[in-house]
Structure 1
């Protein structure tokens, strides 16, 4: 029973996140995506990649952005989303052997 609840919760979260995926038409030159949207889109990049196979309108990267700041946020989001911060954690002595 717990497994069904966790799978349902994960599905609801993925559907909620998909409303903020790049390329959905919610950005314009008057209101481009900025730094924080870059972080968010970086976190959602794996999900965007999978959805992009089925919905060609969806993109991995938002073209209507503020430039360098969006790129920087997107890069930070990719690193954080794929566990880039865990690469710098200290290993135990037993891990070294």
Structure 2
């Protein structure tokens, strides 16, 4: 019973929060040339910029950026607020480190498969006594190894 009430309240809570955020948006007439927005309002407008942008799409009276501001300090606060929400460029490093980790894992998998295949080929060649010289088997092993590496790389790149 308690879970049902919470699920029903979530949309109302979301709408309430969005309305509260919208009430403090840029361009709402609170600021004038005589009373411009400063650093703290710039910071707040940067934090709520995503919500304000969505509201601006449906209501042209709501602006994302306050035109009547003190200049550099408002801009600095606005950008700082946007960075706080979007995280700056930190997610770029995370993605590249994830990619490196995946590549490392694929390399390890490839090495394990290669070793296992080579062990099996060696065991198979040793079981086949007198069916060819050791030199021939070494050449076959090298060709198989190269082809397997190439196929594993192609397969991994498709993923």
TM range (shorter): 0.7 to 0.9
Q: Please name the residue that 2:130 is paired with.
A: none
**Any idea what SS the aligned residue of 2:67 has?**
coil
Higher helix share: 2
RMSD over aligned Cα atoms:
2.0
Q: Kindly state the Cα deviation for residue 46 of structure 1 after the two structures are TM-superposed.
A: 0.9
1:48 maps to 2:52: yes
Alignment: residue pair count: 92
Could you give the per-residue CA deviations for residues 33-69 of structure 1, whole angstroms, max 9, x where no partner exists? 0001001000111111111122112111100001000
TM-score under structure 2 length normalisation: 0.52
TM-score scaled by length of structure 1 = 0.82
Larger Rg over CA atoms = 2
Q: Which consecutive residues of structure 2, in runs of 5 or more, have no partner in the other structure?
A: 103-159
Match of 1:68 in 2: 72
Query: Which residue number corresponds to residue 31 of structure 1?
Result: 35
Gaps of 5+ in 1: none
Give 4+ residue runs of structure 1 displaced > 4 Å after superposition: none
- Cross-structure match for 1:7: 11
Q: 2-side partners of 1:40 and 1:6: how far apart?
A: 24
